[in-house]
Amino acid sequence: MININKLILVYSLIISILAIVFYLSYKTQLSNASLANINLKAFNSELDSSKQKNIIHELTLSQLQYYNDSLNTKVLEITKELHIKNSKLKSYGYIQSKIVIKDTIAFKDTIFVPNLNLDTLLKDSIWYSLSIKCKYPDTLLVTPKFKSKCWVVLSTRKETVEPPKKFFLLRWFQKKHTMVEANIFEESPYIITEKSRFVEIIK
């Protein structure tokens, strides 16, 4: 004869396991839905040019590799170029900007021939253009434009606290800490980063 108490115990155990599985599944789905909502808001803020703030995307490395997005694909190419392993990639940022300067020079004397209306554009393929306009009798309009595509890739690496020993076996036993590196990659050949600083606020 089946022991009723044992049967109740088995059923209670099964119900408890199922409840835990359903709860963990619910928590995972809730977390995934929250991340999807954050990333949707991040995409919307990225498309809204009127905003000066951007919401940070939250992606796993597998999502970064899977999504068919030109920026994600490009940053993976940059990490290869900088010899950064995917496992060491912490985050990245991308800023595309344009510099436009309009300058008008008015001469005191007439320097152009009558009816002159010159309008020309000098440029390279992507990064630079110079618009020159000459108007009779004495006006010269110059408009240079520069385009910038700047990447900031944050990655981690381990480094010895003290200067590394020359003998490699001794280096194995040296105390190490994790360093976060900010790699700046500017695509434009006309723009040079003169100074940068990145600060992490620790608690």
Cα 25 vs. chain centroid, distance in angstroms?
Answer: 31
- Closest by Cα among 201, 88, 77 to 155: 88
pLDDT band at 148 (very low <50, low <70, confident <90, very high): very high
3-state secondary structure of 37: helix
Over residues 90-101, the pLDDT tens digits come to 888 888 888 888
Q: Per-residue confidence at 62, pLDDT binned at 50, 70, 90?
A: confident
User: Percent of the chain having pLDDT more than 70?
Assistant: 69
Tell me the average pLDDT across 155-182: 75
Q: Can you tell me the distance from the alpha carbon of 116 to that of 137, in angstroms, rounded to the nearest whole number?
A: 8
Average pLDDT over residues 125-136: 86
Indicate the burial class of 118 (C-beta count within 10 angstroms; 0-12, 13-18, 19 or more). Answer: exposed
More confident residue, 150 or 135: 150
Residue 78 burial by Cβ neighbours in a 10 Å radius (0-12, 13-18, 19+): middle
pLDDT tens digits for 22-42? 656 655 555 555 555 665 665
Q: Over range 149-169, report the average pLDDT.
A: 78
**Predicted confidence (pLDDT) per residue in 102-117, tens digit:** 888 777 776 677 777 7
Cα–Cα dist 42/44, whole Å = 5
Greatest mean pLDDT range, 9-23, 35-49, 80-94: 80-94
| DSSP state letter for 124 | -
Residue 147's pLDDT band, with cuts at 50, 70 and 90, is very high
Instruction: Please give the mean pLDDT across all residues of the chain.
Output: 77
